[in-house]
A and B are shown apart, each in its own frame.
Chain A
Amino acid sequence: MAASQTNQQLTDRYDQQLVAHQAQLPGDGAVRQHAIKQLTAGGLPNRKTERWRYTRLNRVLKQDFGPSHQSAANKDDIDSLVSELTNQLGAQESALLVFDQGSFRADLSQVSDLGGIEFLPLGEALSCGAVKLAESRDGTARAFDQLNTALVADGSWLKIPAGKQPKITILVLAGAAHEQTNYWRLVVDAQSLSEAEIDIIYLGNSDDQAYHSNNFIDLQLSAGARLVVNQIQLQSQQAFHVAAMQVTCQRDSFFRGHLLALGADLARDDVDVYLAETGASVQIDGLQLTGGSQHADLHLTVEHQAPYCNSHVTHHGLFSDHGRGVFNGRVHVFEGADGTDSEMQSKNLLLSERAEIDSKPELEIYADDVKCSHGCTVGDLDHDQLFYLRSRGLAEPQARALLLHAFAAASFSEFAGPWADYVARHVNQKLDQLSHD
């Protein structure tokens, strides 16, 4: 392990990895070459990178993260994880796709009935040309997207037709070996008037390993499509988790997202929503729960590019011990995007004096006729709520515990589907742990 590698050394290493693996990587090599050029030109985010100002990488870059597909998970471990999840699914109608260290595992997946969804492992889809690797955005802030574009080998490509309401669960397992990196990518083509729910669960193999899980999600919603994506991040304690989600919404489409960040040592989520055509709307609830020395960062941008689009974003953060959170929510209303209706809220509870949240809702408006609001609260539990509960006979510790659970639960009150109980159980466990930190 290198004690401290320079930015240059790191990006060079990634360059070498691409050179070494290029032959095995599917799809257009030129896009990968371009991505690695972007990466070496800009470097990894550092203290001067505005979008990474509150999230320093020093703690994770001490690890010598190697390339992916070097070691598969222990078979027993993965079997027990997958069977726990399939038990959870039970008789519910949800197909299951399992990815182990970035690679599709047909043997563990349930793909007999995908409810009309067309599915290809991304490696295959890239090889046969069903989908092209999209170029990453420029800039140091997007370094991990560029890295994903350069080195991703597999993932999932889904095409959702109209007429059915399929539900699909994607399990992304990472961290089988120490200092391993895995890359994973999801590309979704939600066709006109389609309706679907995709639940993504990120799980770490074991709490002993430090690893880097690098994920990129590209969602295209055609006219009138309705897509629900629930992202449940339960990485292991020492994980460095990065996930970028890019959502493009065409006319009258609707995107509903839940983003739950419970695990990882350092977690960074970037969500960029493009409301590209008239009448598109988006509703996202994000929940961050951190304790110990965990750090969770959510950067969320909504681009109102067209008139009469709606966006509703609510972030809930609950931080204990030395836990930290970052929320940067930006709403950008383009010139001519009249009739925009946008609301963004960030609500935060700090349970210890050492916990920290840096929350910044931002509005940038270039249209005249818009309704935009944003707000941010940081504090302890609400006194009126606490008194109300105590006046009904609940002792103070119990009243506080109920309010903590309520605060978190409010963030996924509309979270239904096959994983509702599973998520509630994990959130409750995490909250119990946080209130004892």
Chain B
Amino acid sequence: MLKVNDLKVEIEGKSILKGLTLDIGAGEVHAIMGPNGSGKSTLSHVLSGRDGYEVVGRSITLDGEDMLALSPEQRAWKGLFLGFQYPVAIPGLNSSVFMREAVNAQRRSRGESEYDAMDFLSISREKMKLLDMDESFMSRAVNDGFSGGEKKRNEIYQMALLEPRLAILDEIDSGLDIDALKVVSDGINKLRSPERSLIMVTHYQRLLDYVIPDFVHVLSDGKIIRSGGRELALELEKSGYGWLEQDLAAAE
């Protein structure tokens, strides 16, 4: 489904991703782990089409189609979703209005009829239940004055509404206490399906106790240095990233 082939990315001339290859099949859950500065967030942003990054090598394709040529909104229309590490607050923009516009923009792009306010409300309520969210969320401005936990729940709620084929969740666990982490993980698990692939970018293995991945990749210095199953994450937790990096240095 998603193929990232030898991806090289620079920011202002500085090399961040140095030949990253990743192959994600339909319905698979991949975790990408790595220390700070390894390029995790850059990967999330480049996949979703944020500007400010220069792609200097190779490709990203979704079902064979070149993603790099598409704008962020076009990628969203193809079924891509980014859950932000730091969702931005937009005072003055009502959450409900925003999400209805977003859902309808995606429906228009697929030639489907738009939801009216009533349709949207009932769908929205159903999705909020998944995340144990209070309905007052909908009357608030987007992320404005939200706690860390509320922001992350809001990201997963948006994912539930937009029903992406591929969701990239960038450090969705950061800033969450254990209760909020359970709620968010629970929401993610309910959204798993054979048609929906997930990439979870995280620093900590803790999230992976709740959302069990099919594959784990370790990103270090702009490259994937090791891939494996869930056990790789457990090993990392025991021994830390230093262990793998030393291992790698020894191999070279």
Q: Interface residues, chain A, CB within 8 Å of chain B?
A: 382, 384-385, 387-396, 398-399, 402-403, 405-411, 413
Given known A385-B88, A402-B98, A410-B141, contact A391–B93 (CB-CB < 8 A)? no
Within 8 A of A (CB), among B85-101: 87-88, 90-93, 97-99, 101
Given known A388-B84, A392-B162, A393-B162, contact A410–B91 (CB-CB < 8 A)? yes
CB atoms of A393 and B158 under 8 A apart: no
Q: Interface residues, chain B, CB within 8 Å of chain A?
A: 48-51, 71-73, 75-77, 81-82, 84, 87-88, 90-93, 97-99, 101-103, 105-106, 109, 141, 158, 162
Given known A398-B101, A402-B98, contact A393–B93 (CB-CB < 8 A)? no
- Best-surrounded residue of B49, B77, B88 (most CB of chain A within 10 A): B88
CB atoms of A388 and B87 under 8 A apart: yes
Given known A395-B105, A398-B101, A413-B141, contact A390–B72 (CB-CB < 8 A)? yes
Given known A406-B93, A409-B93, A413-B92, contact A392–B71 (CB-CB < 8 A)? no
Residues on the B chain within 8 Å of A396, using CB = 71, 73
Query: What is the number of contacts between chain A and chain B, taking CB atoms within 8 Å?
Result: 80
CB atoms of B93 and A403 under 8 A apart: yes
For A410, the closest partner residue in chain B by CB is B92
Residues on the A chain within 8 Å of B162, using CB = 392-393
Q: By DSSP majority rule, is chain A's interface helix, strand, loop, or mixed?
A: helix
Q: Can you list 6 A-B contacts (CB < 8 A)?
A: A384-B88, A388-B84, A389-B90, A390-B71, A393-B106, A402-B93
For A387, the closest partner residue in chain B by CB is B50
CB atoms of B105 and A406 under 8 A apart: no
Q: How far is the CA of A411 from the CA of B91 in the complex (A)?
A: 9
Q: How far is the CA of A387 from the CA of B47 in the complex (A)?
A: 13
CB atoms of A402 and B101 under 8 A apart: yes
CB atoms of A413 and B71 under 8 A apart: no
Residues on the A chain within 8 Å of B105, using CB = 392-395, 398
For B106, the closest partner residue in chain A by CB is A393
- Best-surrounded residue of B90, B92, B158 (most CB of chain A within 10 A): B92
CB atoms of A406 and B77 under 8 A apart: no
Q: How far is the CA of A410 from the CA of B77 in the complex (A)?
A: 29
CB atoms of B87 and A393 under 8 A apart: no
Q: How far is the CA of A205 from the CA of B51 in the complex (A)?
A: 49
CB atoms of A391 and B92 under 8 A apart: no
Residues on the A chain within 8 Å of B48, using CB = 391
CB atoms of B73 and A395 under 8 A apart: yes
Shortest B63–chain A CB gap in Å is 18
Closest 5 interchain pairs by CB? A410-B92, A406-B92, A393-B76, A409-B92, A406-B93
Residues on the A chain within 8 Å of B82, using CB = 391
Shortest A228–chain B CB gap in Å is 20
CB atoms of A403 and B90 under 8 A apart: yes
Q: How far is the CA of A425 from the CA of B162 in the complex (A)?
A: 29
CB atoms of B76 and A392 under 8 A apart: yes
Residues on the B chain within 8 Å of A385, using CB = 88, 90
Shortest A31–chain B CB gap in Å is 44
For A412, the closest partner residue in chain B by CB is B92
Residues on the A chain within 8 Å of B98, using CB = 389, 392, 402
Shortest B146–chain A CB gap in Å is 13
Q: How far is the CA of A388 from the CA of B83 in the complex (A)?
A: 10
Shortest A268–chain B CB gap in Å is 26
CB atoms of A392 and B93 under 8 A apart: no
Q: How far is the CA of A382 from the CA of B49 in the complex (A)?
A: 17
Residues on the A chain within 8 Å of B87, using CB = 388
CB atoms of A407 and B92 under 8 A apart: yes
Q: Which of A384, A390, A398, A405 contacts B76 (CB 8 A)?
A: A390
CB atoms of A392 and B92 under 8 A apart: no
Shortest A238–chain B CB gap in Å is 30
CB atoms of B72 and A387 under 8 A apart: yes
Q: Which of B50, B84, B91 contacts A406 (CB 8 A)?
A: B91
Q: How far is the CA of A33 from the CA of B76 in the complex (A)?
A: 70
Shortest B217–chain A CB gap in Å is 23
Q: How far is the CA of A102 from the CA of B73 in the complex (A)?
A: 53
Shortest A128–chain B CB gap in Å is 47
CB atoms of A406 and B76 under 8 A apart: no
Residues on the B chain within 8 Å of A403, using CB = 90, 93
Shortest A194–chain B CB gap in Å is 30
Shortest A3–chain B CB gap in Å is 45
Q: How far is the CA of A390 from the CA of B48 in the complex (A)?
A: 10
CB atoms of B71 and A388 under 8 A apart: no
Residues on the A chain within 8 Å of B91, using CB = 406, 410, 413
- Best-surrounded residue of B71, B76, B87 (most CB of chain A within 10 A): B76
Given known A402-B98, A402-B101, A413-B141, contact A392–B158 (CB-CB < 8 A)? yes
Q: How far is the CA of A433 from the CA of B92 in the complex (A)?
A: 19
Q: Which of B71, B76, B88, B99 contacts A382 (CB 8 A)?
A: B88
Residues on the B chain within 8 Å of A390, using CB = 49, 71-73, 76
- Best-surrounded residue of A396, A405, A406, A413 (most CB of chain B within 10 A): A406
Q: How far is the CA of A403 from the CA of B98 in the complex (A)?
A: 10
Q: Which of B72, B97, B99, B101 contacts A391 (CB 8 A)?
A: B72
Q: How far is the CA of A395 from the CA of B88 in the complex (A)?
A: 18
For A384, the closest partner residue in chain B by CB is B88
Residues on the A chain within 8 Å of B92, using CB = 405-411, 413
Residues on the B chain within 8 Å of A382, using CB = 88
CB atoms of B90 and A394 under 8 A apart: no
CB atoms of A405 and B88 under 8 A apart: no
Q: How far is the CA of A410 from the CA of B141 in the complex (A)?
A: 9
Q: How far is the CA of A390 from the CA of B98 in the complex (A)?
A: 11
Given known A387-B50, A388-B84, A413-B141, contact A393–B90 (CB-CB < 8 A)? no
